[in-house]
Amino acid sequence: MVTLNSRLPELGARARLASRRLALASTASKDEALRRAGELILQRAPEVLSANDADLDRARATGVPASAIDRLQLDERRLEQMSAGLFAVAGLQDPVGEVVDGVLRPNGLSVRRVRVPLGVVGVIYENRPNVTADAAALCLKSGNAAFLRGSSAAQASNVAIASVLREALAKAGLPSDGVLLVEDVSREAAEEFVRLTGIIDCLIPRGGPSLVAMVREKATVPYVIDGDGNCHVYVHEAADLGMAVRIVLNAKTSRPSVCNAMESLLVDAGIAQVFLPLVGRALAERGVKLLADEAASAELGDMAEPATPEDFGREFLDLCCSVAVVDGLDAAIEHIGRYSSGHSEAIVTQDLSAATRFTREVDAAAVLVNASTRFVDGGELGLGAEVGISTQKLHARGPMGLRELTTVKWVIEGNGHTR
Amino acid sequence: MVTLNSRLPELGARARLASRRLALASTASKDEALRRAGELILQRAPEVLSANDADLDRARATGVPASAIDRLQLDERRLEQMSAGLFAVAGLQDPVGEVVDGVLRPNGLSVRRVRVPLGVVGVIYENRPNVTADAAALCLKSGNAAFLRGSSAAQASNVAIASVLREALAKAGLPSDGVLLVEDVSREAAEEFVRLTGIIDCLIPRGGPSLVAMVREKATVPYVIDGDGNCHVYVHEAADLGMAVRIVLNAKTSRPSVCNAMESLLVDAGIAQVFLPLVGRALAERGVKLLADEAASAELGDMAEPATPEDFGREFLDLCCSVAVVDGLDAAIEHIGRYSSGHSEAIVTQDLSAATRFTREVDAAAVLVNASTRFVDGGELGLGAEVGISTQKLHARGPMGLRELTTVKWVIEGNGHTR
Tens-of-pLDDT digits for all 419 residues of chain A?
344 456 899 999 999 999 999 999 999 999 999 999 999 999 999 999 999 999 999 999 998 888 889 889 999 999 999 999 999 999 999 999 999 999 999 999 999 999 999 999 999 998 789 999 999 999 999 999 999 999 999 999 999 999 999 999 999 999 999 999 998 899 999 999 999 999 999 999 998 889 999 999 999 999 999 888 999 999 999 999 999 999 999 999 999 989 999 999 999 999 999 999 999 999 999 999 999 999 999 999 999 999 999 999 999 999 999 999 999 999 999 999 999 999 999 999 999 999 999 999 999 999 999 999 999 999 899 888 888 899 999 999 999 999 999 999 999 999 999 99
Q: In B, which residues are within 8 Å of A419 by CB distance? A: 250, 254, 372, 374-375, 380
Residue B9: φ, ψ to 5°:
-60, -35
Give residue-wise pLDDT tens across range B94-120. Answer: 999 999 999 999 999 999 999 999 999
Domain count, chain A: 2
Q: A222, B392: Cβ pair inside 8 Å?
A: yes
Q: In B, which residues are within 8 Å of A370 by CB distance? A: 413-417
SS3 A117: strand
Other Cβ atoms within 10 Å of A303 Cβ, number: 20
- Distance, in Å, from the CA atom of A136 to the CA atom of A147, rounded to the nearest integer, reads 8
Is residue B419 less than 8 Å (CB to CB) from chain A? Answer: yes
**B interface test, pick of A393, A404, A406, A411 with most B CB neighbours within 10 Å:** A393
Q: B375, A419: Cβ pair inside 8 Å?
A: yes
Q: Which of A116, A249, A398 sits opposite B410 (nearest CB)?
A: A398
* A165 and A290 together in one domain: no
Other Cβ atoms within 10 Å of A69 Cβ, number: 15
- Distance, in Å, from the CA atom of A335 to the CA atom of A338, rounded to the nearest integer, reads 5
Counting one residue from A and one from B, how many pairs have CB atoms under 8 Å apart? 214
Q: B418, A109: Cβ pair inside 8 Å?
A: no
Is residue A279 less than 8 Å (CB to CB) from chain B? Answer: no
Q: Which DSSP category does A329 fall into?
A: H
Is residue A202 less than 8 Å (CB to CB) from chain B? Answer: yes
* B50 and B123 together in one domain: yes
Q: Go through chain A and tell me how many residues it has.
A: 419
Q: In A, which residues are within 8 Å of B220 by CB distance? A: 216-217
- Where in the sequence is the domain holding B360, given as residue range(s)? 231-379
**Per the domain annotation, does B60 fall within a domain?**
yes
- Distance, in Å, from the CA atom of A205 to the CA atom of A227, rounded to the nearest integer, reads 9
Is residue B392 less than 8 Å (CB to CB) from chain A? Answer: yes
Residue B110: φ, ψ to 5°:
-95, 125
Helices of type H across B155-285: 155-171, 187-193, 209-218, 241-253, 269-285
Q: How far is B167 from chain A (nearest CA, A)?
A: 26
- Distance, in Å, from the CA atom of B233 to the CA atom of B341, rounded to the nearest integer, reads 13
Of the candidates A393, A326, A312, A392, the residue with the CA atom closest to the CA atom of residue A358: A326
* B184 and B252 together in one domain: no
**Longest distance between any two alpha carbons in chain B, whole Å:** 80
- ipTM of the shown complex: 0.93
Contacting residues for B321 by C-beta, under 8 A, at least 6 apart: B252, B262, B263, B264, B265, B283, B288, B289, B290, B291
* A99 and A241 together in one domain: no
Give residue-wise pLDDT tens across range B331-368. Answer: 999 999 999 999 999 999 999 999 999 999 999 999 99
| Residue B150: pLDDT band with limits 50, 70, 90 | very high
Of the candidates B403, B222, B116, B410, the residue with the CA atom closest to the CA atom of residue A399: B410
Q: B414, A363: Cβ pair inside 8 Å?
A: no
- Distance, in Å, from the CA atom of A389 to the CA atom of A378, rounded to the nearest integer, reads 8
> What does the pLDDT average to over B176-203?
95
Q: B408, A397: Cβ pair inside 8 Å?
A: yes
- Distance, in Å, from the CA atom of A225 to the CA atom of A399, rounded to the nearest integer, reads 12
Q: How far is A195 from chain B (nearest CA, A)?
A: 9
Other Cβ atoms within 10 Å of A324 Cβ, number: 24
**Per the domain annotation, does B249 fall within a domain?**
yes
Q: In A, which residues are within 8 Å of B374 by CB distance? A: 418-419
Is residue B369 less than 8 Å (CB to CB) from chain A? Answer: yes
- Between the alpha carbon of residue B352 and those of residues A111, A115, B329, B357, B361, the distances in Å are 17, 21, 12, 9, 14
Is residue B216 less than 8 Å (CB to CB) from chain A? Answer: yes
3-state helix, strand, coil in chain A (%, to 5): 45, 20, 30
Q: A414, B376: Cβ pair inside 8 Å?
A: no
- Distance, in Å, from the CA atom of A11 to the CA atom of A203, rounded to the nearest integer, reads 16
Q: In A, which residues are within 8 Å of B417 by CB distance? A: 247, 370-372, 375
Q: A393, B119: Cβ pair inside 8 Å?
A: yes
Chain A residue with Cα closest to B412: A368
SS3 B94: coil
Q: A367, B409: Cβ pair inside 8 Å?
A: yes
Q: How far is CA B229 from the centre of its chain?
A: 11
The pLDDT score that the predictor gives to residue B2 is: 43
CB burial of B41-58 (b: ≥16 within 10 Å; e: otherwise) equals beebbeebbebbeebbeb
**Per the domain annotation, does A418 fall within a domain?**
no
* A213 and A87 together in one domain: yes
Is residue B351 less than 8 Å (CB to CB) from chain A? Answer: no
Q: How far is B216 from chain A (nearest CA, A)?
A: 5
Q: Which CATH number goes with the domain that contains B216?
A: 3.40.605.10
Residue A235: φ, ψ to 5°:
-95, 105
Q: In this model, does residue B298 exceed pLDDT 70?
A: yes
**Per the domain annotation, does B245 fall within a domain?**
yes
* B60 and B128 together in one domain: yes
Q: How far is A96 from chain B (nearest CA, A)?
A: 11
The pLDDT score that the predictor gives to residue A66 is: 87
* B139 and B15 together in one domain: yes
Contacting residues for B119 by C-beta, under 8 A, at least 6 apart: A363, A393, B16, B19, B23, B144, B145, B201, B202
Q: How far is A177 from chain B (nearest CA, A)?
A: 19
The pLDDT score that the predictor gives to residue A6 is: 62
Quick one: angle between helices B27-43 and B45-61, nearest 10?
Answer: 70
The pLDDT score that the predictor gives to residue A4 is: 47
Residue B391: φ, ψ to 5°:
-105, 10
Asked whether the beta carbons of A355 and A365 are under 8 A apart, the reply is no
Asked whether the beta carbons of B220 and B242 are under 8 A apart, the reply is no
Q: Which CATH number goes with the domain that contains A364?
A: 3.40.309.10
In this structure, what is the dihedral angle of CA atoms A266, A271, A277, A279, given to the nearest 10 degrees?
-50
The pLDDT score that the predictor gives to residue A316 is: 95
Q: B412, A246: Cβ pair inside 8 Å?
A: no
Q: In A, which residues are within 8 Å of B247 by CB distance? A: 416-418
* A304 and A352 together in one domain: yes
Give residue-wise pLDDT tens across range B274-292. Answer: 999 999 999 999 999 999 9
Q: Are strands B304-306 and B344-348 parallel, antiparallel or unpaired?
A: unpaired
Is residue A359 less than 8 Å (CB to CB) from chain B? Answer: yes
**Per the domain annotation, does B131 fall within a domain?**
yes
Q: A380, B416: Cβ pair inside 8 Å?
A: no
Is residue A93 less than 8 Å (CB to CB) from chain B? Answer: no
Q: In A, which residues are within 8 Å of B363 by CB distance? A: 20, 23, 116, 119, 409
* A175 and A204 together in one domain: yes
Of the candidates A154, A145, A124, the residue with the CA atom closest to the CA atom of residue A218: A124
Half-sphere CA count of A43, side-chain side, radius 13 A: 11
Q: B394, A395: Cβ pair inside 8 Å?
A: yes
Burial of B416 (0-12, 13-18, 19+ CB in 10 A): middle
Residue B226: φ, ψ to 5°:
-105, 90
Is residue B399 less than 8 Å (CB to CB) from chain A? Answer: yes
Of the candidates A409, A112, A395, the residue with the CA atom closest to the CA atom of residue B381: A112
* A34 and A156 together in one domain: yes
Cα end-to-end span (Å), chain A: 54
**Per the domain annotation, does B418 fall within a domain?**
no
Q: How far is A145 from chain B (nearest CA, A)?
A: 14
SS3 B398: strand
**B interface test, pick of A24, A336, A412, A415 with most B CB neighbours within 10 Å:** A412
Is residue B240 less than 8 Å (CB to CB) from chain A? Answer: yes
Q: Which of A23, A393, A414 sits opposite B369 (nearest CB)?
A: A414
Q: What value does the mean pLDDT of chain B take?
A: 95
The pLDDT score that the predictor gives to residue A1 is: 37
The pLDDT score that the predictor gives to residue B5 is: 52
Q: In B, which residues are within 8 Å of A249 by CB distance? A: 418
Q: B417, A359: Cβ pair inside 8 Å?
A: no
**Per the domain annotation, does A385 fall within a domain?**
no
Residue B299: φ, ψ to 5°:
-90, -30
Strand residues in A179-303 grouped as ranges (E): 179-181, 202-206, 231-235, 262-268, 289-292
Strand residues in B27-133 grouped as ranges (E): 99-104, 110-117, 120-125
Chain A residue with Cα closest to B395: A395
Is residue B269 less than 8 Å (CB to CB) from chain A? Answer: no
Is residue A334 less than 8 Å (CB to CB) from chain B? Answer: no
SS3 B152: helix
Is residue B366 less than 8 Å (CB to CB) from chain A? Answer: yes
* B68 and B200 together in one domain: yes
* A219 and A252 together in one domain: no
**Per the domain annotation, does B384 fall within a domain?**
no
Q: Which DSSP category does B238 fall into?
A: T
Chain A residue with Cα closest to B407: A393
Residue A255: φ, ψ to 5°:
-165, 85
Is residue B382 less than 8 Å (CB to CB) from chain A? Answer: yes
| Residue B44: pLDDT band with limits 50, 70, 90 | very high
**B interface test, pick of A394, A413, A415 with most B CB neighbours within 10 Å:** A394
Cα end-to-end span (Å), chain B: 54
| Residue B226: pLDDT band with limits 50, 70, 90 | confident
Contacting residues for A114 by C-beta, under 8 A, at least 6 apart: A97, A98, A99, A100, A408, A409, A411
- Distance, in Å, from the CA atom of B129 to the CA atom of B69, rounded to the nearest integer, reads 11
Instruction: Please state whether B184 falls in left (phi above 0), alpha (psi between -120 and 50) or beta.
Output: beta
Is residue B403 less than 8 Å (CB to CB) from chain A? Answer: no
Q: How far is CA B74 from the centre of its chain?
A: 21
